[in-house]
Structure 1
Amino acid sequence: MQTTLLRQYQLVTGARAALFNYCETVRNDDLLTPLPSFNDESMISQMTHVANCYLFWLAHYAMQDHRPFFQNQANKSMNDVKQDYEQVNMMINEFLHKYGQALDVPITFLRHGNMLTTTPLQVFTHVTTHEFHHKGQVLNMSRQLGYIPADTDVIRT
Structure 2
Amino acid sequence: MLKQQYDFILSSRNTLLTYIGSISEQDFLTNNSSFGRGSIRNLLVHICQTYCAWIGERALGIEQEFLPFERYQALHDCQTYFNQVDGYIGLFIEKFKGNELQEMELNRNGEILKVNPLKLFTHVTTHEFHHKGQIMSLSRHLGYIPIDADIIR
What TM-score results when the alignment is normalised by the length of structure 1? 0.93
Flag structure 1 segments of 5+ consecutive residues without an equivalent. none
Flag structure 2 segments of 5+ consecutive residues without an equivalent. none
Counterpart mapping for 1:79-94 below 5 A: 79-94=76-91
CA distance in 1, matches of 2:102, 2:62: 18
Are 1:37 and 2:34 an aligned pair? yes
Q: Which amino acid aligns with 2:20?
A: C
Q: CA RMSD in A?
A: 1.2
Identity of aligned residues (%): 35
Map Cα deviations across residues 42-98 of structure 1 (whole Å, 9 max, x no partner): 101001000011001101111122122254111111111100001111111000111
Aligned with 1:143 (options 133, 140, 146)? 140
What TM-score results when the alignment is normalised by the length of structure 2? 0.95
For these two proteins, the number of residue pairs brought into alignment is: 153
Q: Does the CA contact (< 8 Å) of 2:52 and 2:85 recur in 1?
A: yes
TM superposition outliers: structure 1 runs of 4+ over 3 Å: none
Corresponding residue number in structure 1 for 2:46: 49
Corresponding residue number in structure 2 for 1:25: 22
Q: Which amino acid aligns with 1:98?
A: K
CA distance in 1, matches of 2:23, 2:64: 31
Counterpart mapping for 1:1-157 below 5 A: 4-39=1-36, 41-156=38-153
